[in-house]
Chain A
Amino acid sequence: MSGAALALRQIGYENRAFWRNPPAAFFTFAFPLLFMVIFNVLFGADAARFFTPAIMVFGVVTATYTNLAMTVTIARDEGILKRLRGTPLPGWAYLVGRIGHAILIALLLVVIVGAFGALAYGVDVPWVHLAAIVLVLAVAAAAFSALGLALSGLIPNADAAPAIVNATILPVLFISNVFFQMDNAPDWLDAVSHVLPTRHFADAMLGFYGLGDTAGAGVPWLEIGVIALWGVMGVVAAMRFFRWEPRR
């Protein structure tokens, strides 16, 4: 089989294994919805128009960056990566399989969050922007996957993974228009946040829902460009830091 066919096949096996652990699968999807419900209770139903796209961003980042950084580190500690390294499966085909599956889960999450926002809170789905939304989601999911793989190479062991992953992503999400609106943030913090891919991802998604600077501006090329740049840095860092074996 060619490497590409093996990568596709690997997505299938990843998918099968994922659904074999129903509690993990359930909470992967329930967690962002829970956030949405709580935020809407706290901030009122008007907030749903903000939190629907914001929680989509949170869901995509969780399903790609957080998920891959943790599960790849665990697979490395368990010796799964080392074992694969001894087979003819090209390393990239395995990783493409992992990333492909993570992206599928991320897209499914977006659909669920969008549907939940529409049905529970009456937040209209911006169908006119569908093509642009898919483009942003695809670039963001790929970029955050690459960054997650790069981070896994820097995490010393599986026990350290949750602490390190959360420490790298939660503060970033806090200043990225995801959990809190950045309207009243001091200028310097706003400037910092504009360097980050999460901020641009959030701004793009909020724009599709008619919020923020990019509202109604069509395809948010600047945002896509910044996210893609981070993705490229993620790929370079992943190639530099990725390891097949546990650190001794």
Chain B
Amino acid sequence: MSAVEIRGLRKSYGSFEAVRGIDLTVETGEVFALLGPNGAGKTTTVEILEGHRQRSAGDVSVLGHDPGRHERALKERMGIVLQQTGVDEYLTVREVVQMVAGYYPAPRDVDEVIGLAGLGEQRDQRVNKLSGGQKRRVDLAVALAGDPELLFLDEPTTGFDPSARRQAWETVRGLASLGKTIFLTTHFMDEAQALADRLAIMADGRIVATGTANELIGASTPSTHVHFRLVDGVEPPAGLGVHAAASAYELETTEPTRTLHELTAWALSAGVELHDLEVGRRSLEDVYLQLTADAESDAPAGAAS
């Protein structure tokens, strides 16, 4: 059975439709990322799965339960990290995890949970003495306390510094290796690419693409991306489809061998250097920007939030 199944999900706030009929399936044991810009409907979707919001239409199944019914049997099997922290400030990390562990029938060992969240050194500190990043980890520890099969992470690294993000990624990978199903939302492409087995891109309340990162990159124009800089005053060659990008030049080609040959031949004969020359396939970020931009231009005026 799939861990999460969504069919025709819709959610309206008054006249504004935040989620406009989406279908998604997340398999057991999978790390799934829901990627999209702010206001795309990601949090609304994940909060419906968590039971925090009621859907307007459609079918939702989480571990075989309807999350809208607030069944204890479902809550015993899932863990939630919300976008914002909410933990008793005057209890220690260990006390908070122990308190929450008691809500579950088969909790994971408290100290092991604290270790998984990377809070071993802070275990006896009160939550109000912790830094912002450490409080986010308390959130994670609380979500792990019940040893859930399914974990929801809503923008888990927003506001983290780069090293804290890397640590959080390692934690998520560790959880995935324990066989947990992980449903995460993010607006960072690299995060989705680094963590997710499969991802869906959401824009303007709709799913605009699903698949592995490689599939998404391959499914859009299978082109190669060339990037270079020229010294001031030198104009790039005509006829190769070169376009100016921020202080550099870029081109897309489906014939990279021929195009590079022509470009370097031009540079040699003109006696100019192709500074910072980069050749690569399109990144997930390019695909993402293109798909989300397409979705926005299709949307009726005034519908974007």
Contact = CB atoms under 8 A, between A and B. Distances in A.
Interface string B113-142: 000000000000010000000000001001
Contacts of A81: 86
Nearest to B143: A86
B85 interface: yes
B86 A78 contact: yes
A203 B99 CA distance: 41
Contact of B88 (A6, A80, A82, A89): A80
A85 B51 contact: yes
Given A86-B51, A86-B52, A86-B75, A9 B102 contact: yes
Range, interface on chain A: 20 to 34
Nearest to A18: B90
B100 interface: yes
B84 A87 contact: no
A91 to B, nearest CB: 9
B82 A83 contact: yes
A17 B91 contact: yes
A88 B104 contact: yes
B146 interface: yes
Given A17-B91, A20-B126, A82-B52, A87 B86 contact: no
A190 interface: no
Given A9-B102, A88-B146, A90-B72, A83 B87 contact: yes
A10 B88 CA distance: 12
Given A6-B102, A90-B72, A20 B91 contact: yes
Contacts of B50: 86
B52 A79 contact: no
Interface string A57-95: 000000000000000000100111111011111100000
Nearest to B89: A17
Contacts of B75: 86-88
A152 to B, nearest CB: 16
Interface in B64-84: 70, 72, 75-76, 78, 80, 82, 84
B103 interface: yes
B276 to A, nearest CB: 45
A245 B83 CA distance: 13
A83 B87 CA distance: 8
Interface string A12-54: 0100111011000000000000000000000000000000000
Nearest to A94: B103
A16 B78 CA distance: 28
Interface in A89-139: 89-90
A191 interface: no
A217 to B, nearest CB: 44
B152 to A, nearest CB: 8
B280 to A, nearest CB: 41
Q: Which of B50, B75, B76, B102 has the most CB of A within 10 A?
A: B102
Nearest to A83: B86
B27 interface: no
Contacts of B91: 13, 16-17, 20
Contacts of A10: 99
A20 B89 CA distance: 10
B86 A80 contact: yes
Contacts of B105: 88
Contacts of B52: 82, 85-86, 245
Given A17-B91, A87-B146, A79 B86 contact: yes
Among A1, A6, A13, A88, max chain B CB count under 10 A is at A88
A88 B87 contact: no
Contact of A87 (B88, B95, B103, B126): B103
Nearest to B139: A83
Contacts of A89: 103
Contacts of A82: 52, 82, 86
Contact of A88 (B86, B89, B103): B103
B102 A17 contact: no
A75 B86 CA distance: 8
A78 B128 CA distance: 13
Contacts of B87: 80, 83
Contacts of A1: 102-103
B90 A20 contact: yes
A105 to B, nearest CB: 15
Given A16-B90, A17-B89, A85-B51, 19 more contacts: A1-B103, A6-B102, A6-B103, A9-B99, A10-B99, A13-B99, A17-B88, A20-B90, A20-B91, A79-B84, A80-B86, A83-B80, A86-B52, A86-B75, A86-B82, A87-B100, A87-B104, A87-B146, A88-B76
11 contacts: A13-B95, A16-B91, A17-B90, A79-B84, A80-B86, A82-B52, A83-B87, A85-B70, A86-B51, A87-B104, A87-B146
